Amino acid sequence: MAIKFQYNKTSQQGLAKQLKIRERALPTLKNKESALRVEVKKAKDKAAVLDEALKKELSLYEDMMQLWSEFDPSLVEINDVELTSKKIAGVQTPILEKVHFEVRDYNMFDKPSWFPDGIAILEKLAKIAIERAVFERKMELLDFARKKTTQKVNLYEKVQIPGFQDAIRKIKRFLEDEENLSKAAQKIVKNRQQNAEAES
């Protein structure tokens, strides 16, 4: 990214101001990036834990697979999922508050005695799966923000700050050269005047 500037004091002051803003913002951005990195890892770890919990729960009921063929899964329905949000390093992330289930009426005398337990098991499995999905979404949001922040850190650190410093250096050199030329020109004019006065 080429920084546009003019060889004058006003341009130099404007660039110095921009440079100062970026130099001040850089530590904050770096802190945000590392905080997001930590939060992404936490969310990823929690999603993995929930994934394991879901697999473990499912394995507990493997020996009951024959019974599940009798079960009517339409008895249990997810009615609503209550989510709130929390800001983490400036990023809105979802938090699972509650999962509302609706259990359809059924005749307890027609169905096997383990149906209420089956309903509880289904609700538990669904809640774990939903919570895992929420943590995966949280991880995606945080990771996206972390990537954006990393890009900004790199832009400031590797492009803009060195660019502004280089532009300011060029302007300073130009102004110093201009001042030296002006002084040299004044000296020449002064010497000519003195020589002209000496001759006359």
pLDDT digits (tens, 9 = 90+) for 103-124: 888 777 777 777 778 788 888 9
**Chain length of the chain:** 200
CA-CA-CA-CA torsion sign (104, 108, 112, 117):
positive
Dist CA 31 CA 34 (whole Å): 5
Q: Which residue has the tokens 């079960």?
A: 71
Helical pair 161-199 and 9-60, crossing angle rounded to 10 deg:
170
Residue from 16, 10, 13, 9 nearest 164 by CA: 16
Give the separation between CA 14 and CA 153, rounded to whole angstroms: 21
CB contact burial 5-32 (16+ within 10 A = b; e otherwise): beeeeeebebbeebbeebeeebeebeeb
**Distance of alpha carbon 125 from alpha carbon 171, whole angstroms:** 67
Only one residue has tokens 């913002």, namely: 25
Token pair of 82 as six digits: 């209550």
Q: Which candidate, 148, 172, 147, 179, places its Cα nearest to that of 19?
A: 172
CA proximity to 92, closest of 131, 30, 144: 144
Average pLDDT of the chain?
Answer: 88
Residue range 51-58: mean pLDDT, rounded: 88
Q: Give me the CATH topology for the region 9-193.
A: Helix Hairpins (1.10.287)
Q: Can you give the pLDDT at residue 166?
A: 92
Q: Other CB atoms closer than 10 Å to residue 149's CB: what's the count?
A: 22
Q: What is the pLDDT of residue 107?
A: 74
Q: Which of 49-58, 60-69, 96-105, 154-163 has the lowest mean pLDDT?
A: 60-69
Q: Kindly list the domain boundaries of the chain, sorted by start residue.
A: 9-193
Average pLDDT over residues 8-15: 90
Burial of 43 (0-12, 13-18, 19+ CB in 10 A): buried
